Amino acid sequence: VHEAVAQLVAERGSAAVNVADVAAASGVHPTSIYRRWGTLEGLLLDVALARIEKDAPIPDKGSLRSDLLAFAKQASTTISGPDGFALLRAIIAMDDVQPDRDGVRSASRARLLARRGAQLQEMLDRAKARGERPLEFTDVLDGLLAPIYMRFLFGVGGVDRAYLAHLVDRLVMAPSRARRGRRK
Amino acid sequence: VHEAVAQLVAERGSAAVNVADVAAASGVHPTSIYRRWGTLEGLLLDVALARIEKDAPIPDKGSLRSDLLAFAKQASTTISGPDGFALLRAIIAMDDVQPDRDGVRSASRARLLARRGAQLQEMLDRAKARGERPLEFTDVLDGLLAPIYMRFLFGVGGVDRAYLAHLVDRLVMAPSRARRGRRK
């Protein structure tokens, strides 16, 4: 199913892919696709994340600074490529992001993103075990991924090597977060 | 034209609106719409921004901290409502964000967002003129808008009053940025 989606998205762009075509191309019944992924958007998000996990594995370079810098470089490369764009597009399209609907909302966005978040947390926990600054993955989301993604989306500011290094420095040398406690 | 778009988006959602319908509802020729806004996405972005400017004017409360806190509260309210969502959706849909296309790209995203950025910079320049910490609007993008938007998009972390205050504190009391110089 993943291969069928990747193929169709490459051919037509993600906006022109539907579950019926994915079912036909993969030989898997549409009902099974809906049962497993909930929605087309959930499936597209899963495929984009799987490719990102494969092409941009979480770094393990022996120091927090090196890991964060490598992660930041990956993120800035990914977001400006088709996978990162597909991921953003899939997230935006998901039912549980849209504010103008009530009723049942899919939790698949949070579930899918949690997998990558857990991998990132393992990287941070390795640093903590080495005696380096303990960070939560939400710190990396706020201080690294968020500015990189927003500068790309808004088309302002620019993201070069010096800027990424600056963001990493701020995370590695951030003042104590004791004031706001530990957030989930 | 703006009213016609707002009406159509409210009735059908932004994904089901097209230029022909907007032209019919507003009595403006489609060619004129394309000439003015370039693409449907440019028009949708312009409408979302105009509504945000109207409903969430840039604060002027007499201190940098109060202004930033009011701006952060507005942003977190806007992003979880239909206008903020429409804005994100329009940005994602714009030609010049999509990485898998070459050729001519619209600059309307940057042009439209620059208007809001300039208003925000005026707020920061007022603080600077009062002798408060000089900030660039990219600092507010990185340190305030980006984490608020990303936590919303990724559905993790949560954005409460204490969190917004923490983000504002970091901006108001940030260490000197002399090391990385002034960025545009």
Q: What is the pLDDT of residues A53-84, one digit of tens each?
A: 888 899 999 999 999 999 999 999 888 777 77
* Encoded tokens for A159: 């993201």
Specify whether the CB–CB gap between B146 and B156 falls below 8 A.
no
Q: Any chain A CB within 8 A of the CB of B82? A: yes
Going by pLDDT thresholds of 50, 70 and 90, the confidence category of residue B96 is low
Least CB–CB distance from A117: residue in B92, B100, B156? B156
Q: Calculate mean pLDDT across residues A152-157.
A: 81
B149 to A147: CB separation less than 8 angstroms, yes or no: no
A180 to B157: CB separation less than 8 angstroms, yes or no: no
Q: Which one of A11-15, A52-56, A145-149, B99-103 scores highest in mean pLDDT?
A: A145-149
Q: Which amino acid, one-letter code, is at A28? A: V
Q: How far apart are CA B36 and CA B42, in angstroms?
A: 9
Strands (E) in chain B, as ranges, are none
B142 to A162: CB separation less than 8 angstroms, yes or no: no
Provide the 3-class DSSP secondary structure of residue A123: helix
> Whole-angstrom distance between the N-terminal and C-terminal Cα of chain A?
33
Q: How far apart are CA A73 and CA A141, in angstroms?
A: 14
Helix, strand, coil percent values for chain A (each to nearest 5):
70, 0, 30
> Whole-angstrom distance between the N-terminal and C-terminal Cα of chain B?
33
A151 to B163: CB separation less than 8 angstroms, yes or no: no
pLDDT of residue A2: 84
Q: Does residue B183 have a pLDDT over 70?
A: no
Instruction: Work out the mean pLDDT of chain A and round it to a whole number.
Output: 82
**Which residue would you say has higher pLDDT here, B168 or A110?**
B168
pLDDT of residue B124: 97
pLDDT of residue B97: 63
* Encoded tokens for A128: 């903590």
Q: How far apart are CA B180 and CA B156, in angstroms?
A: 30
* Encoded tokens for B152: 């919303």
Q: Any chain A CB within 8 A of the CB of B136? A: no
pLDDT of residue B58: 94
Q: How far apart are CA B39 and CA A79, in angstroms?
A: 23
What's the gap in Å between the CA of B144 and the closest CA on chain A? 9
Q: Any chain B CB within 8 A of the CB of A150? A: yes
Q: What is the pTM of this model?
A: 0.80
Q: Which one of A10-24, B19-33, B35-49 scores highest in mean pLDDT?
A: B19-33
Going by pLDDT thresholds of 50, 70 and 90, the confidence category of residue B108 is low
pLDDT of residue A115: 83
Least CB–CB distance from B89: residue in A81, A92, A162? A92
pLDDT of residue A101: 40
B155 to A184: CB separation less than 8 angstroms, yes or no: no
Provide the 3-class DSSP secondary structure of residue A156: coil
Provide the 3-class DSSP secondary structure of residue A108: helix
B146 to A149: CB separation less than 8 angstroms, yes or no: yes
pLDDT of residue B131: 95
Going by pLDDT thresholds of 50, 70 and 90, the confidence category of residue A175 is low
Residue A179 neighbours by CB under 8 Å, 6+ apart? B166
**Number of DSSP helices (H) and strands (E) in chain A, helices first:** 10, 0
Each residue of B111-132: b (16+ CB within 10 Å) or e?
A: ebbbebbeebbebbebbeeeee
Q: Any chain A CB within 8 A of the CB of B102? A: no
**Mutation target among B40, B79, B100 for the A interface, most CBs of A within 10 A:** B100
Q: Any chain A CB within 8 A of the CB of B95? A: no
Least confident stretch, A31-35, B86-90, B149-153: B86-90
Going by pLDDT thresholds of 50, 70 and 90, the confidence category of residue A105 is very low
What's the gap in Å between the CA of B49 and the closest CA on chain A? 13
Q: Any chain A CB within 8 A of the CB of B24? A: no
Q: Which is nearest to B51 in space by CA: B109, B5, B97, B93? A: B5
B157 to A117: CB separation less than 8 angstroms, yes or no: no
pLDDT of residue A96: 62
B163 to A157: CB separation less than 8 angstroms, yes or no: no
Q: Which is nearest to B97 in space by CA: B86, B84, B110, B114? A: B110
Q: Any chain B CB within 8 A of the CB of A182? A: no
Q: Which is nearest to A176 in space by CA: A127, A125, A139, A124? A: A139
A109 to B155: CB separation less than 8 angstroms, yes or no: yes
Cα-based torsion angle of the residue sequence B129, B130, B134, B137 in order, rounded to the nearest 10 degrees: -70
* B chain contacts of residue A180, beta-carbon cutoff 8 Å: 162-163, 166
